[in-house]
Amino acid sequence: MSRKKYIYDFEEADWRNKRLLGGKGSSLALMTQIGLPVPPGFTITTDACRDFLKCKEEEINSIVAKLERLPKPEERDRLIKELWEILSGLELPEGLMDEVKVHVKRLEEKRGLKFGDKDKPLLVSVRSGAAVSMPGMMDTVLNLGLNDETVIGLANMTGDYRFAYDAYRRFLQLFGKIVLGIDDKLFDEKLESIKEKYGASTDVDIPFDGLKELVDEYKELIIDKIGFFPSDPWTQLEMAIKAVFRSWMNPRAIYYRIANKITPDIADCTAVNVQSMVFGNMGEDSGTGVVFSRDVANGENKLYGEFLPNAQGEDVVAGIRTPLSIDELKNRHPKLYEELYDKVKLLERHNKEVQDVEFTVERGKLYFLQTRNAKMTALARVKTAVDMAKEGILSREEAVLKVKPEHVLQLLYPRIDESSGAKPIAKGLNASPGAVSGQAVFDPDTAVMWARDGKEVILVRVETKPDDVHGFYAAKGILTSRGGMTSHAAVVARGIGKPAVVGAEALRIDYGERLFRVGDVVVREGDWITIDGNTGNVYLGKVPTIEPELIPELRELLAWADEFRRLGVKANADVPEDARIAREYGAEGIGLLRIERMFRKPERLEVLRRVILSENSDERLEAMYELSEMIKSDFKEMLEIMDGLPVTIRLIDPPLHEFLPKPEELLSEIYEAEKNGDDGRVMELRRLYKRVVALTEANPMMGHRGVRVGVTYPEIYKGLVKAMLEATAELILEGKNPILQIMVPQVAMVEELRFVKKTAIEPVRKEVEEKYGIKIPFMVGTMIETVRGALTADEIAREAEFFSFGTNDLTQATFSFSRDDAENKFLPQYLELGLLNSNPFETLDVKGVGELVKIGVERGRSTNPNLEIGICGEHGGDPASIEYFHKVGLDYVSASPFRILIARLAAAHAALKEKSN
């Protein structure tokens, strides 16, 4: 039986198969096959990684599941140690190293060098690469193959002993940290000691003698911690391959996959890429860099990135030295820059995406080490999608699909209010947009603990490392004193949408004292600071922010999205400002106008209380008509703002006791009145108290509310309908085009809707039409938010002109959950234990609530084919829920004003995905 093929040379691999080759292996195969200068190498596939982990799969998955629950630091450290012990005992699949030797032999032939040879040694890098980009989350080893003999061969071969020992010390540190698990700080301490001894401000300034001494110290450290140093290059290679496979299960990679929703069906292992080394640390005509095909901060169509002369790739990504702008490469080496520009743009056109390219220059020759789709700010994502469509690289459909709903949300991040007069105390690079305030913390564990306690924090670090990633997700923003736009902090922050300022070099951070200084200013842990990822400014204290304006490219992209979507998008509103924002953001009407806030003004609340406390229907109707005059202007304003677009006004929904004082408040007032001898006041308060107690319910959300109020007190609905119809009539007479829809909530039986129409709506229609002398067009419909309402939708549809699913209450009814109690008491644990995949009040429960929606749609349209059907719960702004609503045939979704833009885009995505299937 033939053995499974685990390895492919870059020339032979199918670059389209990212799941097998990983993103990095795919990109290396692509670049090689289209003729770019790529150091030769081969990819060990994800199949090998899966087989590597398989024998301990059950134990590993058990620990990973516990880590996914974000345990406290002590428990997390114990689990990580247990996981490391399991992973350290794993062996490579049988026959893999034999296959590796065959491909190394081919590599030797291509390079004219020999692996492990003391005269002409071949050195390799061993790098990770999953099917999706996970920048900095897994491990890399460079300069592998060096030992005390091969380093001399490298020095003689290149004629540069300093370079050879610089490569050797780099290898020892990476191998010691990644493969052997030695704390990186121990290596850094020795490096700093040597720099101090030899008066070197950076590692580039360390002389040959210092590097040779550092190599000896690193080897001593490894022997002290591990007991031996593996000098045999083949042993090094086998150990490094294992380490990279293990790194798929390191905590930072696990947390990154959780935060970015990278599930096993998307990527379940990493590949390993073994590649011939090229050296950027061979002098000033050499270097390394990261370049983007467009500016990933603002989307401008120019190369954007950084490079470091006389350096290796880890130096740029780690933020150890502040790199130079890519424009400086153009000034120093114009021909090299031109070659880089042409080939990067070729990759962009080929991949139909802005590219993030790693390159090395060895003695004036350019090499490409990786290309991947760039992680950008939301601003850049939108601008580049629109620009690339206009340039013919993308179709409009492709451009719309490139922009995710979360990108739109990020464009609504606040910015600093310049009128506040706040003066920055420092400035760095604007790595990821948004202005946020938080309490300064100096390590990721503290960030997690403080965030758990409800505090808003900003993680402050000299530079971040992949091990800090759990602190990124806990923090509101990230601030570093070192690093560039392609440093770890910048890349990860952009990827997860966190505001970040990096390379704020004026900061002097003292981890021991847990503070930082900027000149005479001292900021201690817990002090409030504000960072502005739009400008790079850092401020002391909390600084006021303002909402941003929509960029022209987003308006254009959403106009394209509107052409593709079938679902309409309306807005939920409480006040006129909501309607104005909704219209500005492209809402096609108001899908839910909640009227309850209209009653909160003291004079209105007083009249409403008279309505509730009335002893008979005549008193109630008189008070209600008085209230009707008060609120008519509110309805008129809302209808006028949305002129020409439908406005769906929900009749009163909450239980009536919510508009009355609480019993305990009244008892306190009665006590005070009795103490003061105010007998008249005591009698009045006791009467009120008796009525409040009578109206108070054991389970108010399932009690006397919604349509049930309209049935028992039709006068209340009469007064509300009167205000709506009179507002509509007056606008019609003023030449406006109001489109009114009256929505009856909580209907469970068709008889309820029929009763309310007969006793409250139709009589008032006649009254108002006679008063104004015109016919008033409007629709009457209902919210489907009870289980029975959904199941009997065919009956209700005979009386309703439209349905609007109230999925908030329908979710409560389906689960028998009280939302407030669920979210405060047990829902977090359900999510943590995996009993629920998502909060059902945020993302629709398709199996339960979704099935009721589907039934309601099918049955409603079976008796009323012209029935308009929408949804006005919170799910109307959730992209995953919107996709389902598109599938089951709703006409529109209604969302909060600030999610209108998201809903428009998500609706287009749903239509385009359906079309592509």
Residue 18, C-beta contacts closer than 8 angstroms, at least 6 positions apart: 26, 131, 132
Q: How far apart are CA 759 and CA 53, in angstroms?
A: 70
With tokens 């400014």, the residue in question is 537
Q: How far apart are CA 72 and CA 448, in angstroms?
A: 9
Q: What is the C-alpha radius of gyration for the chain, rounded to an integer number of angstroms?
A: 33
Determine how many CB atoms are found less than 10 A away from the CB of residue 481: 22
Say if CB 902 and CB 880 are below 8 A apart.
no
3-state secondary structure of 687: helix
Residue of 378, 498, 505 lying closest to 447 (CA atoms) = 498
Looking at residue 331, the DSSP 8-state letter turns out to be H
- Buried b / exposed e across 307-331, counting CB within 10 Å, b at 16+? bbbbbbbebbbbbbbbbbebeebee
Choose, from 488, 657, 875, 886, the residue flagged as catalytic. 488
Q: How far apart are CA 145 and CA 167, in angstroms?
A: 11
Write out the two tokens for 242.
């294992």
DSSP of 745-791, one letter per residue?
Answer: -S--SHHHHHHHIIIIIHHHHHHHHHHHTS---EEEEEEE-SHHHHH
Say if CB 607 and CB 630 are below 8 A apart.
yes
DSSP of 491-544, one letter per residue?
Answer: HHHHHHT--EEE--TT-EEETTTTEEEETTEEEETT-EEEEETTTTEEEES---
- Give, in degrees to the nearest 5, the angle at Cα 822 between 820 and 826: 140
Q: How far apart are CA 339 and CA 79, in angstroms?
A: 49
Secondary structure element (H or E) that encloses residue 597, with its range = none
3-state secondary structure of 730: helix
Q: How far apart are CA 807 and CA 853, in angstroms?
A: 9
Kindly give the pairing relationship between strand 304-309 and strand 114-115.
Answer: unpaired
Beta bridge partners of 570: 894
Residue of 532, 712, 681 lying closest to 617 (CA atoms) = 712
Say if CB 344 and CB 355 are below 8 A apart.
yes
Determine how many CB atoms are found less than 10 A away from the CB of residue 482: 22
Q: How far apart are CA 403 and CA 908, in angstroms?
A: 11
Looking at residue 56, the DSSP 8-state letter turns out to be T
Cα separation values, 883 from 167, 264, 590, 844, 867, Å? 52, 22, 21, 10, 21
Say if CB 536 and CB 483 are below 8 A apart.
no
Write out the two tokens for 539.
């401020």
Choose, from 872, 875, 886, 909, the residue flagged as catalytic. 872
Q: How far apart are CA 485 and CA 377, in angstroms?
A: 12
Residue of 627, 610, 616 lying closest to 684 (CA atoms) = 610
488 included as an active-site residue: yes
Q: How far apart are CA 423 and CA 426, in angstroms?
A: 9
Looking at residue 442, the DSSP 8-state letter turns out to be S
Q: How far apart are CA 71 and CA 74, in angstroms?
A: 8
Sign of CA pseudo-dihedral 646, 651, 653, 659: positive
- Specify burial of residue 121 (Cβ count, 10 A radius: 0-12, 13-18, 19+): buried
Beta bridge partners of 739: 646
The catalytic residues are 488, 872
